Amino acid sequence: MPVTRRDTLRLGAALALAAPAAARAQALPDKPVRLIVPNGAGGVADLTARTVGAALSERIKQPVVIENRPGAGGIVAGQTLLTAPADGATLMVATNANAISKSLFRSLPFDPVRDFAPIGLMGTFAIAILVAPNSPIRTAGDLLAALKRDPQNTNIGTISVGSTQNLAAELFKTTANVDATTVPFSGTPALLTSLLRNDVTAAFEIVAPLMGQIRDGSLRAIAVTSATRAANLPEVPTLQEAGLAGFDVTSWNAVVAPARTPAPVIERLNRELNAALADPAVRSKLLEAGVEAKGNSPAQLAQLMASETEKWRAVIERAGIEKQ
């Protein structure tokens, strides 16, 4: 049959519509993808990055290489990302620390909201309030009562000033209207030693690395700080259930790129990231590490980062924490 001019125009229109889709499918560069982690190997962010990175690699048909760049509250990792080509081949794990750093440091070499392009959330993980197994405090209500009854002899332990755990404790105090001392420690081992000696009344700490001690009774979790109960601690109530309306502190890990990264690259990475997170095997492996797999859109991640930045700015100012 002869090809008419109308047929030619229709074919041209169809090809024009197909071209953007093909471009999006091929948006990523044909080389390994670096996923920079702002923490050392073995931590929650690292384990999340390695689990999700392996699944993402299968989907984009490129190796995803984990690159640990710990130090200085995520500044080292952020600088590495900031100077990388904006082609989708260099990504970074963003965490709560990025939302906190803008108000915690006097100056930063980058703006976590302006200079990073959100790709998507990977997962969230709980912070628990812990007590020693022999403590008379068995619930968050008991702790609140003790803090109000005897604030001079009741205190809260956390890791370093400005950490999510430390700021969660400060937010807890202001929300509950209690005046107790927050005692910061250099790291989790020192904090737990002090807790088990009853030098501190309770501790705010991330659940994931402590699940073994919680399960064997070496530590007792009396509450979690998230709005809903943690999937790996379903029997432990939230602070909202204890009467602190609206209290919601959840640690999170996400993926970001340099701000100049083209939109088709961001769209492709978000699509593949969410598909990887929907894989039951990935979800199960993350939960074993204490992480609840949760994806979202770039716009939703941008909103999360902006709201978290504002929340922690207010907490830092109210607590009078000196900028570093």
> What are the phi and psi torsion angles at 297 (to 5°)?
-95, 165
Task: Give SS3 for 277.
Answer: helix
Instruction: Spell out the per-residue pLDDT of the chain, length 324, in tens.
Output: 454 555 445 545 444 444 444 444 457 889 999 999 999 998 899 999 999 999 999 999 999 999 999 987 788 999 999 999 999 999 999 999 899 988 888 888 888 889 999 999 999 998 999 999 999 999 999 999 999 999 888 999 999 999 999 999 999 999 999 988 999 999 999 999 999 999 999 999 999 889 999 999 999 999 999 999 999 899 999 999 999 999 999 999 999 999 999 999 999 999 999 999 999 999 999 998 889 999 999 999 999 999 999 999 999 999 898 888
- Note the pLDDT of residue 108: 87
- CA-CA distance, 274 to 60, in Å (whole number)? 12
**Domains of the chain, each with CATH number or no CATH:** 31-124+250-319 (3.40.190.150), 127-224 (3.40.190.10)
Walk across the sheet containing 251-258 and list its strands: 64-68, 33-37, 90-95, 251-258, 116-125, 292-293
For the beta carbon of residue 72, count every other beta carbon within 10 angstroms. Answer: 16
**E strands, the chain, where?**
33-37, 64-68, 90-95, 116-125, 127-131, 155-158, 181-184, 202-206, 220-224, 251-258, 292-293
For the beta carbon of residue 1, count every other beta carbon within 10 angstroms. Answer: 4
* Contact indicator for 184, 152 with CB cutoff of 8 Å: no
- CA-CA distance, 182 to 156, in Å (whole number)? 5
- Quote the radius of gyration of the chain (alpha carbons, Å): 23
- Note the pLDDT of residue 5: 53
